[in-house]
Structure 1
Amino acid sequence: MVALVALLLLSACGHGERTRGAAVECPSIAGMPDALLLLFGEMHGSKEAPALIRGLACSVSEKQAVAVGLEMPSQDQARLDAFMASGGKADDVDTLLATDFWQQGRDGRSSAAMLELIEDLRALKQAGRPVTLFAFDDQPGTQLERNVAIANGVRRFREAHPQMRIIALMGNVHAMSASMWAGDRMLAPSGSLLADLHPVSVLVSHPAGTIWACMPACGVQSLPASRDEAVPGFHEGAVMGGYSRSYRLASLTASPPAAENGKPAP
């Protein structure tokens, strides 16, 4: 099984302005589920999970259109669209980061690795690849329950693009395809609310390592290894309920917030 190749980014997927039509080489990733809707459930705040999504999008876009969905406020979609159409210069990055999501966010969804993922998707698009980026978190500014809000955002994009391959990255509870007990109540994760769209839920598992999160203090947090298959790559089944597949990362390294004190982090 090809293991580490999903995390490799070749020079064409790096930072900076790209020429439309430029050659892009992407790795072939063994074992990726053949489904139109893939829900990847992660522990927010690592470098490796966004890198996995970046590698998958690069590979899929060799043969077909692909959309990457991120757990960001859908109300910020216009900023994402503008950045994807930009040259990726410093002013473009500053404009993207000038929202509460980036400036106040501290849960890993607004990490430097997430910004790098967005920058590399922009580079792929500018190189002529059929890559789309969309935000699916409908909760900010509403009273929607979070799983409902996330499911609504993914569903809206699917209805507008019924045949496009979607790779959505979200928290590992949201991506579950089955209900679960949360204290004394039954919780319906976003994945279960999207059952009629036949998603494949993939748990992002990991060896012992670190993430950047607030637990409750904000900073680098240590995590033990997931108790599942230790070989990096895609696998059938998962240690966590509500998942039919898993992807084992080769490492787990904390990624801090992309913006600190109103400016991009170094």
Structure 2
Amino acid sequence: MRTAAALLLAVLVATGCRLPADGVPDPQVTLVGELHGTREHPRAFLDLVGQAAARSDQPVVVGLELPPDAVAVARRALQLPESERLAVLLESSTWAENPDGRASMARLELIRDLLALEAAGEASVIGIDLREGKQHDLAAPALARVLAERDGQDNPVMLLVGNGHLDAGEGRATLGQAFVNQGLATTLLTLHYSGGNAWNCTAGACGPRELGANLSCPEGTRTIRPGLVVADACLGKVTLSPLARDALGPAPATPHRVLFVGNSLVYTGNLPAVLEALSAGDNHALEADMIVTGGATLSDRVADGSVARALATGRYQTVVLQERGGDFLCAFGPGSCVQARAALASLARLAREHGASPVLLGTYQGDPRASASLDSAEAIAARDAGVPYLHVTRHLQAGLATYPRLAWFANDGMHPGPDLTLLQALLLHEHLFARVPDAVDFTVEAPIHTYSAHLEAEARRATDVPDGSEAATSYTYDSRHFARVARLLRHP
């Protein structure tokens, strides 16, 4: 028998959680409880909807805790170029005035992806929040809206609501009980988190909120009474998603300045310049400099003082650190990993002292087992240094499996090819601006360095052409490749 645990599969596999062991009948209605204002909850819900659609011969009725007019306005806005979307979104009071995470950028991106399922005939997307004023009861209007959409058919139903609406109490007019009373087998699935941050409202105050660390994050399923099952899944650490109106607002007059510190893994394909062009196309002003030489380690940059000199200018808000591939695995001798960890901690501390935020951009391996070991070693080093870590090799493995014909590597089979450079730029863009841009054609107007380039270990603009350079001076990414690479971030 198929089980409600199967509906948890996409979430649990993506987050490394265990599958609940006890089997229960497949639900006709699944209420998914989220913490508003995170990136992870909408992504997990999208995965669950996709799985439900794949297992049903009828479209999934997908209900969001938004007024119907907010969903309708989002539909219209998402048909426009990104630069024109904000004006349309602001026609809805939800997107213009609502201060909580239901109006987040992650929620808008969820609607975009759900509408793609709808266009394929796999889903029907509706707003179920018909409450007026300070009315708290979501059950009656949501039930009526869903039943009208089903129109007497057996479509599976999946609703995304705040976790406060997943009350399993018997005898009360709860949202879950409303569906059970209609004879519909219902599962209440709460997506828990172990820590992180979110954009939401607490005690009337709305904005970024730290959630703590090592919070209880249960998993499992249990039958409460006939027709009603309670399920729990753990998403791990979550990260905030800003309000859509803020994320789509005008770019700041002063560009966000980024310093890259690394080696040929950074300059092959000119990752800093790709990030600049990608950000400009997404309405974010960004300028990137780099301190890079072939085969360099972070220890080299500590020793020669080049990073300290660059940071002393006070120009940078973010410092991207990338170690030589394999150093954190002691691939160059037992002392190399000790030196790499010490250098990472030193440069991260130096960045913070100058008002910049450090981030460790991972390296990669083509072999899956070596990739997993590398990812783990780099993640531990980043954690110990107190810096965010971007999992390059994990996403590359997904890309190699899903899109093996993309240009992941340069012609030496080791250095990054155009699509791996784009993948790294997208990871950095998401880290900096909390969103994955829409896929468009864009051109990088900068020297596209090869792995044999000879660059000096001093800060230089990503767009500057070195003396005597024979590198190509532009590269165009097409939207088709862009969309495939971006999909790896939305469905890792």
* TM surpasses 0.5: yes
Residue number in structure 2 paired with 1:73: 67
1:134-190 CA distance string (max 9 Å, x none): 1111113696844433343334334x253112110001121323259xxxxxx6321
Residue number in structure 2 paired with 1:171: 162
Question: Is residue 131 from structure 1 mapped to residue 119 from structure 2 by the alignment?
Answer: no
Shift in Å, 1:108 = 1.0
Matched residue SS, 1:176:
coil
After superposition, the Cα gap between the structure-2 partners of 1:2 and 1:195, relative to the gap in structure 1 and judged at 3 Å, is: closer
Residue number in structure 2 paired with 1:107: 100
Please give the root-mean-square deviation of Cα atoms over the aligned residues, in Å: 3.6
2:236 corresponds to which letter in structure 1?
A
139-148 vs 247-256, greater mean Cα deviation: 139-148
Q: Which has the higher strand share?
A: 1
**Contact 2:86 2:245 (8 Å CA) reproduced:** no
After superposition, the Cα gap between the structure-2 partners of 1:235 and 1:116, relative to the gap in structure 1 and judged at 3 Å, is: same
Which residue of the other structure, out of 209, 214, 221, is the alignment partner of 1:236? 221
Q: Distance in 1 between matches of 2:250 and 2:133?
A: 25
Residue number in structure 1 paired with 2:186: 199
**Contact 1:204 1:248 (8 Å CA) reproduced:** yes
Which residue of the other structure, out of 247, 251, 254, is the alignment partner of 2:240? 254
Q: Distance in 1 between matches of 2:98 and 2:188?
A: 25
Calculate the TM-score normalised by the size of structure 2: 0.41
2:62 corresponds to which letter in structure 1?
V
**Contact 1:155 1:194 (8 Å CA) reproduced:** no
Q: How many percent identity over aligned positions? A: 27
After superposition, the Cα gap between the structure-2 partners of 1:146 and 1:52, relative to the gap in structure 1 and judged at 3 Å, is: same
Residue number in structure 2 paired with 1:183: none
**Contact 2:38 2:239 (8 Å CA) reproduced:** yes
Q: Distance in 2 between matches of 1:92 and 1:71?
A: 21
Residue number in structure 1 paired with 2:377: none
Aligned residues: 229
1:1-38 CA distance string (max 9 Å, x none): 7755457xxxxxxxxxxxxxxxxxxxxxx779722210
Runs of 5+ unmatched residues, structure 2: 1-8, 252-432, 434-492
Shift in Å, 1:246 = 0.9
1:48 corresponds to which letter in structure 2?
E
Question: Is residue 56 from structure 1 mapped to residue 10 from structure 2 by the alignment?
Answer: no
Shift in Å, 1:254 = 1.1
Q: Distance in 2 between matches of 1:218 and 1:124?
A: 32
Q: Distance in 2 between matches of 1:250 and 1:134?
A: 28
Higher Cα Rg: structure 1 or 2?
A: 2
Q: Distance in 2 between matches of 1:41 and 1:236?
A: 14
Residue number in structure 2 paired with 1:149: 141
**Contact 2:186 2:229 (8 Å CA) reproduced:** no
Calculate the TM-score normalised by the size of structure 1: 0.71
Shift in Å, 1:205 = 0.8
Q: Distance in 2 between matches of 1:115 and 1:264?
A: 17
Residue number in structure 1 paired with 2:207: 219
**Contact 1:205 1:226 (8 Å CA) reproduced:** no
Runs of 5+ unmatched residues, structure 1: 8-29, 181-186
Which residue of the other structure, out of 153, 166, 171, is the alignment partner of 1:162? 153
Matched residue SS, 2:36:
coil
Q: Distance in 2 between matches of 1:97 and 1:164?
A: 33
Q: Distance in 2 between matches of 1:261 and 1:51?
A: 18
Matched residue SS, 1:209:
strand
Q: Distance in 1 between matches of 2:155 and 2:80?
A: 25
After superposition, the Cα gap between the structure-2 partners of 1:264 and 1:94, relative to the gap in structure 1 and judged at 3 Å, is: farther
